[in-house]
Amino acid sequence: MPCILWVTTPSDSEKLIQTIGLTPYKIIEKDSIVSTREGERKYDATLCGFDVVTENFTDFPTLVEGAIVFLEEHFEQLKKLKLLETNSKLDFGFYTQFVDSKIVAQYDTIPNKLLKLAGELGMDIELSQYWYAENEGAQLN
């Protein structure tokens, strides 16, 4: 999950897809019940996930650059989210650097260009850090 655009809406996914003209890779319709590690979860709104960047988890600056390109390329389509009742966020999934005991701080910068684009589109930005074990890949909590 390197960078995903998550959009929630009380309407159905078809209306969202027709409005913005982008195809999600994941759809959970309103009132669906989904099994999770914590048990069943009922979704009170439709949730759609759109691939923004599919690069690997290890290069946060590349994820950010790719997200800027995606937002610029699809800006007019994404502006149409405002025509619907939606909440949207860019979710950057990346590996934490705290797997090495010599690392005491991690610095990840979100450039103002991305902040401006996301802000103009009314999108939040979420940073999802994952633990990395070299022989096991990403370790999700």
pTM of the model: 0.84
* Greater pLDDT, 44 or 131: 44
Read off the pLDDT of residues 30-73 as tens digits, 9 standing for 90 and up: 999 999 888 999 999 999 999 999 876 678 888 999 999 999 99
The Cα 8–Cα 12 span in angstroms is: 10
Crossing angle of helices 112-120/60-73, nearest 10°? Answer: 40
Read off the pLDDT of residues 55-64 as tens digits, 9 standing for 90 and up: 766 788 889 9
- 98 pLDDT tier (thresholds 50, 70, 90): low
